[in-house]
Amino acid sequence: MTAVAQDWADGRLAGAPTDAQTADHVRRFDGLGATELLELWDSAASRLHHLADAEDLEPPLGDIACHEHDIRSAIGRPGARDAESVRWTADTLLAMLDPPVPMRVVVEDGEYRSGPPGGAELILHTTRFDALRWRTGRRSRAQLTAMDWSADPAAVVDDLYLFGPAGADVIE
């Protein structure tokens, strides 16, 4: 995350990092201790704050919410799955869906329709938290396929990921 923040502040980030960029990020910080990483993170975060003010950028709330739950999962401390950041990010990500068939995603407090008009709707019942996680590649194809669908989701599964899918099941 420190490397992404640095690259973003330096204008070297044009989207989600590729595998090669991620490998470079790991190499860049190999051998640094936690204190050094946190100092670099603080510096990059400060630069991003100034950049956001200067260019009137929207804070990357979705990215923050996604990575918060990556960290929570990594340290075995799940929680905040109903936080406003999850709600807002899931809303944004579900509103962006563009599947090849009519589709409706039903979450705990709403519905999202997408795809072309006409024809039978494919319906997925899920939660905002899980929608955040599968849209951002934190669920495998098998996990997404196994969710509560009204019919076989094979026609849409690969179109539902903004990033991903995960190469293996992600258990949180």
Question: What per-residue confidence (pLDDT) applies to 139?
Answer: 97
Q: What is the mean pLDDT of residues 64-83?
A: 93
- Whether pLDDT at 147 is above 80: yes
Summarised one tens digit per residue, pLDDT across range 8-51 is 888 888 777 778 888 888 999 999 999 999 999 899 989 988 88
The kind and range of the H/E element at 105 are strand 103-107
User: What would the mean pLDDT of 89-116 be, rounded to a whole number?
Assistant: 97
Percent of the chain with pLDDT over 90: 69
State the average pLDDT over residues 135-162: 96
Q: Are the CB atoms for 153 and 124 separated by under 8 Å?
A: yes
- Please report the pLDDT score of residue 150 as a whole number: 98
pLDDT at residue 55, as a whole number: 81
Which percentage of the chain shows pLDDT scores above 70? 100
Q: Please give the mean pLDDT across all residues of the chain.
A: 92
Q: Please name which of 115, 93, 89, 96 lies closest in space to residue 104, comparing C-alpha atoms.
A: 115
Residues 28, 4: Cα–Cα separation, whole Å: 11
**What are the boundaries of each domain within the chain?**
1-59, 84-149
